[in-house]
Structure 1
Amino acid sequence: MTKDDRYGAAGDTYGSSGDQYDDAPSQNGTGAETAGAAADDAETETDDSANDGVADLPFIFARRTVKADRDALPVYVRASTADQIGELERELDDRFDGDDVMSLDVREAVVKAGLRNVEDVVDVMETWGYGRR
């Protein structure tokens, strides 16, 4: 596997815009917005996108490159976690056959899923020993 395969080539084939899902409400109510506000924003985006059509596209199709509109956030993980992420990437690559599943997308999706499920994050941290003092 090459670096481009893992992180996405600089000129990936997907397209150029921001993540319209950044402010999506979380499932456990810890998100920055309520579902009603998110729906209002979605309606506004739909109205605005009638002019150019880009906002109507899902994130992977609207961006220029896999790194477009993203900030670097270095994350250091143990070998077992890296192995799990690699396994997940392979599973998702099989599931989304025909799509180029980018490692950066999988990793951000894992972070977003954790933000939507904060209790799962708390459980992992408690397993690591947090809250025992």
Structure 2
Amino acid sequence: MKEGPGEDPFAEDTTDDQVDSAPDADPKTALESDSEPDHDTTDTMSTNDIPYVIRRQTVKEDRDNEHVAFLRDEYAELEDQIRADVADELDMRSKDVSVTDLREAFVELAAENPDAVAEILESWGYEHLK
């Protein structure tokens, strides 16, 4: 009988002359072995190879920690200027540079340059807290 749209594709309809050579074969393995790449390279890209800003769905993805930044007015204005300057460096519009990304970049930059951060804190009077 001809298989049609109402037929159950998973129903067993075998004849005596049909033999299943691998009844317990893993379909995933079968697909991998049946589909040979047309080119010599078999390297695949993992999700970690895709830049974070591209692979995420939202700016808050993978950011479970919510931190509120209390800034003095002069530093809030400076943050806006830094955002504009960074956007210029990236050849982007300022509004396309996420403040969340920018602040996280500040933390990474500080982690790479703790001596510069310490120098700023000393200029604010941290030497008096020793």
TM-score range, shorter chain: 0.5 to 0.7
Distance 2:116 2:89 in 1: 24
Instruction: Say whether residues 1:61 and 2:57 are aligned partners.
Output: no
Aligned residue pair count: 84
Q: Can you give the 5+ residue segments of structure 1 that lack an aligned partner in the other structure?
A: 1-48
Q: What is the one-letter code of the residue matched to 2:102?
A: V
Q: What is the one-letter code of the residue matched to 2:109?
A: A
Instruction: Say whether residues 1:102 and 2:95 are aligned partners.
Output: no
How is 1:32-51 mapped onto 2 (pairs within 5 angstroms)? 50=44
Match in the other structure for 2:115: 119
Deviations 1:19-75 (A, max 9, x none): xxxxxxxxxxxxxxxxxxxxxxxxxxxxxx93x631111111111110111121112
| Structure 1 stretches of 4+ moved >3 Å | none
Identity fraction in percent: 30
TM value normalised by structure 2: 0.58
Q: What is the one-letter code of the residue matched to 2:91?
A: D
Instruction: Say whether residues 1:91 and 2:107 are aligned partners.
Output: no
Q: How far apart are residue 98 of structure 1 and its match?
A: 4.5
Q: What is the one-letter code of the residue matched to 1:132?
A: H
Q: What is the one-letter code of the residue matched to 1:103?
A: V
Distance 2:87 2:117 in 1: 25
Q: What is the one-letter code of the residue matched to 2:111?
A: L
Distance 1:128 1:94 in 2: 30
Distance 2:59 2:46 in 1: 20
SS at match of 2:60: coil
Q: Answer with 1 or 2: which has the greater Rg.
A: 2
Q: What is the one-letter code of the residue matched to 2:126?
A: Y
**RCO comparison, higher one (Cα < 8 Å, 6+):** 1
Alignment root-mean-square deviation, CA: 2.0
SS at match of 1:131: helix
